[in-house]
C-alpha cells in the first residue's frame, strides 16, 4: 500500500514522529437523491477513493493541521475559545473537533496531516471523507470509542453548523458503514440499513463532468427549505407527518392545492424517489438489473425536471451514456449542479464505455472528463503499519 508509506514519510518529515493513520472513503449514491434530509431512503456505496489522516499526540492542547492538497497549515487551541469558520478546507476538521468536544469527548492535542484522493466538487463526498477520517483519528487517539452512528451524526452536525451546508446524513453514514462489494439501502430515519450485493456482472462507472456550478450550496439549502415548507403545509391536513417520508403519492395528489407549483414539484420528487429507491432495492434482490436501471433513468428525469438540481453537463453525460453499449442505467449522483453521474454498466462493456463516453463528452464540451470504474469499498478505519 504505497499511499500509507508515503503519508507516514511525509508526516515524519513535517512533524518528526511516527503517526497512526486512518482513512475514510468517498461515496457514490446509486439512487435515492435528496431523500436523506426528508427522513427517506437512499442507496449509497463507499468507493475506493480515500481521505487519509495521519496523527500523533502533542503535549499541549493544540491541534496543528496540515493539508497536502492545499499545501496549507491551520490549527485550533482546544484550551481557548472556539474559532469562527474561515470558509476554507480547515472548517471541516475544525468543525468536527468542536462537535466531538461539544459531545463530551475530551480530545488530546495532536498533529494531523490530511491527504485526500477523493475528487473535490465531483459529488463524491470529499467533505464527508475528511470529516470522518478526522473524527476517527481524533477520537481514537484520545482514547474515545464513540459508536459509528454517533460519529456520523457529529460529522453531519459539523457540516451543518460550522461549514454551513444543511446536508443530510447519507454521506457520513456510508463513509463509516460502507461494505465491500455492497450498496446500502439506508433508512435515513431509523439509520438502519440492508446490505445489497452488487453482482460481478455489472460495474459502477462514475463519470465526472469536471464542472461544479457556483450555486450548488445555496440551492441545496433552498431545496431543503422547500421540503420543510411542504411538510408545514401538508401537516395542516395530515397532522401525523414529520417529514415527506410520511406522505404517500396519493396524499400528495389529494392535497396538492395546498402547495405552490414549485413546492409541489419538489415534494413530488421526494415522494416518488423514495418509492423508486425501494423498488430499485427489490429489483437488486431479485437480480433484475434492467428494472434497477429503469428506476435510475426515472430518478434522473425527476431530479432534472421536478427537483431542478441537474445542469447541462450532467444531462449531456446521461444522454451520452444511453448511447453506449451495455448500459443498464445512468443518472446524476450527489447534490447536483455539476459533479458526476453514476452508470450501471455490463462488466463486459465497462472498458469500452469509459473510452467512448470520454471522447463523446470531450467532443461536445471541450472538457476532458474523468471516468472511474469503481467497486464498493469498506467504510472508514485505522491502517496498521503491517499494511505498509
Distance in Å, CB of 221 to ligand GLA, minimum: 11
Give the position of cell 468536527. Answer: 96
Task: Report d(CA 335, CA 216) in Å as an integer.
Answer: 8
Give the position of cell 463523446. Answer: 360
Distance in Å, CB of 166 to ligand GLA, minimum: 9
User: What residue ranges bind ligand GLA (CB under 6 A)?
Assistant: 29, 33-34, 36-37, 167-168, 170-171, 334-335
- Residue 106: CB atoms within 10 A of its CB come to 11
Which CB atom, from 38 or from 90, has the smaller least distance to ligand GLA?
38
Distance in Å, CB of 142 to ligand GLA, minimum: 26
Give the CA diameter of the chain. Answer: 66
Distance in Å, CB of 126 to ligand GLA, minimum: 10
Which CB atom, from 34 or from 266, has the smaller least distance to ligand GLA?
34
Compute the CA torsion angle 132, 138, 144, 145 (nearest 10 deg).
Answer: 20
Which CB atom, from 36 or from 246, has the smaller least distance to ligand GLA?
36
Distance in Å, CB of 351 to ligand GLA, minimum: 28
Which CB atom, from 168 or from 376, has the smaller least distance to ligand GLA?
168
For 367, residues 6+ apart whose C-beta sits below 8 A from its C-beta are: 209, 210, 211, 313, 361
Contact indicator for 352, 182 with CB cutoff of 8 Å: no
Contact indicator for 196, 182 with CB cutoff of 8 Å: yes
Give the position of cell 450555486. Answer: 215
Task: Report d(CA 207, CA 317) in Å as an integer.
Answer: 7
Q: Which three cell numbers stand for residue 298?
A: 426515472
What ranges in the chain are assigned the alpha helix state H?
A: 2-15, 91-102, 126-141, 148-158, 170-177, 216-234, 249-254, 261-285, 289-305, 312-322, 350-365
Which CB atom, from 7 or from 380, has the smaller least distance to ligand GLA?
380
Which CB atom, from 109 or from 121, has the smaller least distance to ligand GLA?
121
Distance in Å, CB of 334 to ligand GLA, minimum: 5
DSSP 103: T
Q: Is 171 a catalytic residue?
A: yes
Which CB atom, from 34 or from 212, has the smaller least distance to ligand GLA?
34
Give the position of cell 430518478. Answer: 299
Q: Are strands 370-374 and 41-42 parallel, antiparallel or unpaired?
A: unpaired
Distance in Å, CB of 169 to ligand GLA, minimum: 7
Contact indicator for 126, 339 with CB cutoff of 8 Å: no
Catalytic residue among 36, 91, 171, 246: 171
Cα–Cα nearest to 166, from 258, 37, 311, 285? 37
Instruction: Report the catalytic residues.
Output: 171
Amino acid at each position: 500500500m504505497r499511499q500509507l508509506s508515503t503519508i507516514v514519510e511525509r508526516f515524519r518529515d513535517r512533524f518528526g514522529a511516527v503517526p497512526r493513520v486512518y482513512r475514510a472513503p468517498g461515496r457514490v449514491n446509486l439512487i435515492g437523491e435528496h431523500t436523506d434530509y426528508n427522513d427517506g431512503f437512499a442507496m449509497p456505496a463507499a468507493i475506493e477513493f480515500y481521505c487519509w489522516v495521519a496523527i500523533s499526540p502533542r503535549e499541549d492542547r493544540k491541534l496543528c493541521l496540515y493539508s497536502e492538497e492545499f499545501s496549507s497549515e491551520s490549527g485550533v487551541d482546544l484550551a481557548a475559545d472556539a474559532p469562527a469558520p474561515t470558509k476554507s478546507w480547515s472548517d471541516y476538521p475544525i468543525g468536527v473537533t468542536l462537535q466531538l468536544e461539544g459531545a463530551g469527548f475530551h480530545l488530546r492535542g495532536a498533529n494531523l496531516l490530511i491527504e485526500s484522493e477523493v475528487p473535490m466538487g465531483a459529488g463524491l463526498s470529499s467533505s464527508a471523507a475528511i470529516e470522518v477520517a478526522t473524527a476517527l483519528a481524533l477520537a481514537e487517539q484520545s482514547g474515545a470509542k464513540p459508536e459509528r452512528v454517533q460519529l456520523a451524526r457529529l460529522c453531519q452536525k459539523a457540516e451543518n453548523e460550522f461549514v454551513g451546508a444543511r446536508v443530510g446524513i447519507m454521506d457520513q453514514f456510508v463513509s463509516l458503514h460502507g461494505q465491500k462489494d455492497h450498496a446500502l439501502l439506508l433508512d435515513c430515519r431509523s439509520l438502519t440499513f440492508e446490505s445489497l450485493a452488487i453482482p460481478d456482472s455489472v460495474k459502477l462507472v462514475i463519470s465526472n463532468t469536471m464542472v461544479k456550478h457556483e450555486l450548488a450550496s445555496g440551492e441545496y439549502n433552498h431545496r431543503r427549505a422547500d421540503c420543510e415548507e411542504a411538510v408545514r403545509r401538508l401537516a395542516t391536513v395530515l397532522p401525523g407527518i414529520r417529514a415527506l417520508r410520511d406522505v404517500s403519492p396519493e396524499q400528495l395528489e389529494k392535497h396538492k392545492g395546498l402547495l405552490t407549483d414549485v413546492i409541489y414539484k419538489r415534494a413530488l420528487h421526494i415522494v416518488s424517489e423514495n418509492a423508486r429507491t425501494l423498488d430499485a432495492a427489490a429489483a437488486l434482490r431479485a437480480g433484475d438489473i434492467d428494472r434497477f436501471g429503469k428506476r435510475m433513468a426515472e430518478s434522473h428525469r425527476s431530479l432534472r425536471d421536478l427537483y431542478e438540481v441537474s445542469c447541462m453537463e450532467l444531462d449531456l453525460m446521461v444522454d451520452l451514456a444511453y448511447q453506449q453499449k451495455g448500459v443498464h442505467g445512468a443518472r446524476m449522483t450527489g447534490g447536483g449542479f455539476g459533479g458526476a453521474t453514476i452508470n450501471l454498466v455490463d462488466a463486459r462493456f465497462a472498458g469500452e464505455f469509459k473510452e467512448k463516453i470520454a471522447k463523446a463528452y470531450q467532443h461536445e464540451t471541450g472538457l476532458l472528463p474523468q471516468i472511474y470504474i469503481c467497486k464498493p469499498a469498506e467504510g472508514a478505519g485505522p491502517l496498521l503499519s503491517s499494511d505498509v
